[in-house]
Structure 1
Amino acid sequence: MPTNTSYPGVHVEEIPSSARTISTVTTSVTAFVGHTRRGPLNEPVRVTSFAEFERRFGGLTSRGALGYAVHQFFAGGGTIALVVRVAARGTGKAASVVLHAGDRRKDCPVLAVHAKEPGAWGNGLHVTVDHDTNHPEETFNLHVADARVGVRESFGGLSLEPGHGRYAETAVNPSSALIRVEVLDSGLPAASGTVSRPFDGELPDLGVELTAKIGDVERDFTLYEEDVDGEAPCTVAELALLLERKLRSLPDAPGKRAFAGATVTAFGDRLQTVAGSTDPADEVRFRGECAGDLGLDETVRPPAFPLECGEDGDPPGPRDLIGSEARKTGLQALRDVDDVNLLALPELAGYESTEDVLAVLTAADRICRERRIFLLVDAPASWSGVDAVRAGITAFDPVRSDHAGLFFPHLQLVDPLSGRLRSFPPCGAVAGVIARTDAERGVWKAPAGTEAKLLGVRSPSVRLTDRESGLLNPLGVNCLRSFPVVGAVVWGARTLAGSDVADSEWKYLPVRRLALHVEESLRRGLQWAVFEPNTEQLWQQIRLNASAYLHTLFRQGAFQGGTPREAYFVKCDADTTTQEDVDRGVVNVVVGIAPTKPAEFVIVTIQQFAGLPQA
């Protein structure tokens, strides 16, 4: 703002700099699209470790290759993955259970609880209900747990009345990672376990003999003994503590905690007794002459309500992988996602039909071009040798894209599920190598060579010689090889358009990826220029910002040349933007870069010469 010069003297003011920084975008975030055990369908989910993948998507499964690819990606140096779960259309079912009313309408269903996502994983969930709230006649607590992984969620003070502040659907569905609920009718769901009748007024005589039966095990005990238990309970809450202590002291069945983990809760003037197991057969029943007087035999239900009938979806077919652009399913789910640099489709290598493979690759290439993504293509599993590759590579002619690279052969790794050696598509391991190379050297460094080790890989499934590699490399096939001491490595860095016959300017994978990186960084970094006055001042600022960004890459070794003039140029002036362009609201920026190309062939010439005579 202008300085107020109301008095004689020196006035100092700060003005903002006109220079804007262009930040570099990510280079190795890898999207994996395919089959998983669990997880949201057709929804991109970002994970930063394989442990997180296991929590969100259920880990490895023998029915799909995606989990293994993600495992190899993180083991090889990857840091961020984007996973899209896809299942065959019409398959898969979410586990569920219906809770009924706990009042006089005992046969009335009031609340349906569904697993958050389809899959058999939901069959391991169970829910419990109690009424231990400030208003036990109107609200309830819902607890859900997955005992296999020790995950538990609790939601308190819920109501089935739509106008209530803790309406079940709005309180549970947005926040739960395990379930979603559907209100079927008003009322109150029945509490799990055994619920007593109300204790009206003073407590009855508690020095009685009772029999507790949980499942097939019966135990006799005295509820209250003055010389053992001290002062007699005076309230329902004190009675709950006494009964819980008595149950937990009883001998349990071998290997179970039905008695040892039993809980007794007081809500209002009632008691709720729940066995310490989640087995639906472990209902708590009280017997004895005085059990009816205490009201402990009023209502008996299972200790937990298990979710059932969950089914895994079948692995996706080609149409499922391609997906629908309108519904954003399959590959189309990536259209609205920023910061995706690599795409892996590990399911594709198992398809037997070449037509199916080409259909998916065509759809994937279209998305990669629109979103500036590089596609990692696995060689078909049927390619068992060099001759099979040379015969089959011609089928890929319709999809020879400079936005994709083909890798052969598959890799031999130990399957963590079986402990046996088996072959896997290489895309996950290759993506890990690319991520590691980007972090250590930069996106302009070819992710190949003796530094590009395939960590954790026993060997390629096909052992290639120098001569065989020399037959495949000119065809645009990136070989995966094994060398003594070094081990398994990536030994090729060409795009699918990089065959010698094609003579493409995007022959090399690092050149293509560097260009994509520069394009996306400039696109985002120059957003500020939109709607600015289209004048020489704007052009000068664009030149300054773009040149500063490219000079940073030059100093890091991304370009050829010994000086900036030899490495890059930025042109934005009256020559690139004419008056006609200005009238149409267009400003043209021309950027040129001289990327470094990999030293694919190192030729050493040795000449023998006779020693020179000494003077």
Structure 2
Amino acid sequence: MPATLSYPGVYIEEIPSGVRTITGVATSITAFIGRAAKGPIDADPDGPVLVNSYGDYERNFGALDPAYPMGYAVRDFYLNGGAQAIIVRLYEGDASKAKANFDITNLTLEAASAGTWANPLRVRIDTQVSDEVAALYGLTKGDLFNVTVRDMTSGAQESFLNVSAKDSPRRVDRVLKAGSSLIRVKDGTLTNAVPAAMSDAPTGKTVWDQDGSSVGVKNKGVDSPALQPGTYEGNADDKTGMYALKKVDLFNLLCIPADTRGGDTDSGVYQQAMAFCVDRRALLIVDAPAAWSSANAITGQNNKALTDLNLNGTAARNAAVFFPRVLESDPARQGQIDTFVPCGIIAGVMARTDTQRGVWKAPAGLDAALNGIQGLSVVLTDGENGQLNPLGVNCLRSFPASGAVVWGSRTLRGSDLLADDYKYIPVRRLALYIEESLFRGTQWVVFEPNDDPLWAQIRLNVGAFMHNLFRQGAFQGKTPQDAYFVKCDSETTTQNDINLGIVNIVVGFAPLKPAEFVVIQLQQMAGQIQT
């Protein structure tokens, strides 16, 4: 009813429908953590970085380099169907002291990020500006100058015209931060003095050498040494290391490639990452250690190699291990074949399966082909696969005609001995998807009057979301009653709960489980006997 009825007549009032559509979240945004040649590091305000293609990754973090295995994992992700990746670049030591510096009279510039990538840069200042442009910004001609930077290796060049050291819309530190991928003004070095021009020649006619027409690097950039476990683990409060991912809204899969080719990611790092994935409703993809050279190397001494990972407890529902590693040609080494970790490939296969079939489909089988590889580092037989599968180790296999495929879909709680509810990857990922979607889609409930009208709205909206999944084939059952339920009423929320400000919503679903074992029974039919 309108708040005030003051005159005789007809009043129009719009009544809310109570429908608040719950939208499903993304399912395969993959985070990668490791070293790179360049780009924002974990502690920078600009990090982590979302990339939508491998080309994006190269522009931000550098081309393939054997010193940085993360780049190969990201490439494999996109080769196998990945769509979005979040990159956390780590740097061992103080990255602020590892940036190339360029000293110009009254102005010090530095590389946009740490590393030797910036050492071939050349910077030039000129004063080819006009009074008219200066007047637009309330400055004089003498307040403006132009900055040009060129990468002498690739030939890439950036030009920034009519910038100033004075406070204005063209203040040089702000312009470079907003528009340059190569250089920045070093903190604390900006003055109101105009830098002396390197040359009066027009920008387009500059001779790019060190004869005075341009300035080369003074203090060279330094690449990161090998990462230590503590750098991966970082600090949750400072949002460094893996906790830099707290800055991003959502990620679903986490890959931590070994820091060196042929090396291993520290098991302690995996343990902390697994706990972090539980908090963020994500799945950790674990690469098999390099020492896992055969099935017997894993199962020997009462499965000691698997036990030594120390990835156990209920948190292991959010992790899965894949064996063996893969063989690929390395473009950075003239196509030589080498061994690589498979985490990027697996994440790409999951992304591809999500797109084609849905998050409830196991990312395994003949359709789960491993693209871009030359083979597997260990060729497994059916018997060896049979040793590992009951332990929760997912095997990569190669079959005639179909090639290399993912041939396992169990979490690290997938051991037959544990009989866990979340034994299978698709069941766990579907649960995480539902949890995250409902978490985000029911925020409107907070502070609403806690009574029957609210409970009915919750049942309507959550039920619509679950029914949509049922229609897509995400659940078992021929009818909605067999497939899922949503309960929110006086039975789930008692008067005491209401007094405490609590509303309880119970959602159940019947997950689809992969057909791991196909049993074909063949019987010979006896001929018809006359009786």
Give the TM-score of the pair, scaled to structure 1: 0.78
SS at match of 1:489: strand
Q: 2:142 aligned with 1:146, yes or no?
A: no
Percent identity, aligned pairs only, is 46
Question: Which of 307, 312, 317 is residue 399 of structure 1 equivalent to?
Answer: 312
1:377 alignment counterpart: 286
State the secondary structure of the residue aligned to 2:516: coil
1:62 paired with 2:58, answer no
Which among 186, 190, 195 is matched to residue 189 of structure 1? 195
Kindly state the Cα deviation for residue 303 of structure 1 after the two structures are TM-superposed.
3.8
Q: 2:258 aligns with which of 320, 335, 347?
A: 347
Contact kept, 8 Å, 1:348 with 1:378, in 2: the verdict is: no
Q: Give the match for residue 415 of structure 1.
A: 330
Query: Cα offset for 1:146?
Result: 2.6
User: What CA RMSD, in Å, does the superposition of the two structures yield over aligned residues?
Assistant: 2.3
1:112-139 Cα deviation digits (max 9, x unpaired): 1100100111112221111112344332
Distance in 1 (alpha carbons) for counterparts of 2:66 and 2:377: 19
In 2: Cα distance, 1:352 partner to 1:82 partner: 23
For 1:277-316, list aligned pairs within 5 A.
Answer: 277-280=207-210, 283=211, 301-306=212-217, 309-316=220-227
The alignment status of 1:334 with 2:250, answered yes or no, reads no
Post-superposition CA distance 1:485-528 (Å, at most 9, x none): 00000000000011111111110000000000000000010001
Match of 1:443 among 353, 359, 362: 359
Give the equivalent residue in structure 2 for 1:568.
484
Instruction: Provide the C-alpha distance between the structure 2 equivalents of 1:165 and 1:554, rounded to a whole number of angstroms.
Output: 55
The corresponding residue for 2:349 is 433
Structure 2: stretches of 5+ with no match in the other structure? 132-139
Q: 1:176 to 1:352 in 2, by over 3 A?
A: closer
Q: Distance in 1 between matches of 2:480 and 2:258?
A: 45
- Which of 520, 523, 537 is the matching residue for 2:439? 523
Contact 1:33 1:85 in 2 (8 A): yes
Which residue matches 2:136? none
Shift of 1:95: 0.9
- Distance in 1, matches of 2:8 and 2:263, equals 86
For 2:126, the equivalent position in structure 1 comes to: 130
Matched, 1:387 2:391: no
Q: Which shifted more, 334-343 or 595-604?
A: 334-343
State the alpha-carbon separation in 1 of the partners of residues 84 and 515 from structure 2. 29
Partners of 2:100 and 2:217 within 8 A in 1: no
SS at match of 1:402: helix
Distance in 1, Cα, partners of 2:169 & 2:61: 32
Map residues 210-229 of structure 1 onto 2, 5 A cutoff: none
Match of 2:368 in 1: 452
CA contact (8 A) 1:119 1:310 kept: yes
The structure number with the bigger radius of gyration is 1
Task: Tell me the equivalent position of 2:473.
Answer: 557
Query: Partners in 2 of 1:62 and 1:433 — Cα distance?
Result: 24
| Structure 1 stretches lacking a partner, 5+ long | 101-109, 196-263, 266-272, 284-300
- 1:120 matched to 2:116: yes
Indicate conservation of the 8 Å contact 2:206/2:213, yes or no.
no
Is residue 177 from structure 1 mapped to residue 209 from structure 2 by the alignment?
no
Deviates more, 1:593-602 or 1:173-182: 173-182
Q: Does 1:32 align with 2:32?
A: yes
8 A contact 1:350–1:381 mirrored in 2: no
Which residue number in structure 2 is paired with residue 361 of structure 1? 270
| Shift, 1:151, TM fit | 3.5
Q: Give the equivalent residue in structure 2 for 1:209.
A: none
Query: What's the TM-score once normalised by structure 2's chain length?
Result: 0.90
Q: Is the 8 A contact 1:128 1:305 kept in 2?
A: no
Tell me if structure 1 keeps the 8 A contact 2:234–2:243: yes
Other structure's SS at 1:581 match: helix
* Pairing partner for 2:415 from 485, 495, 499: 499
Mapped partners of 1:478, 1:380: distance in 2: 13
For 1:485, what is the secondary structure of its paired residue?
coil
**Does the Cα contact within 8 Å between 2:234 and 2:242 map onto a contact in 1?**
yes
The one-letter code sitting in structure 2 at the alignment partner of 1:493 is: S
1:99 aligns with 2:104: yes
Residue 6 (structure 1) shift: 7.1
Residue of structure 2 in register with 1:104 after alignment: none
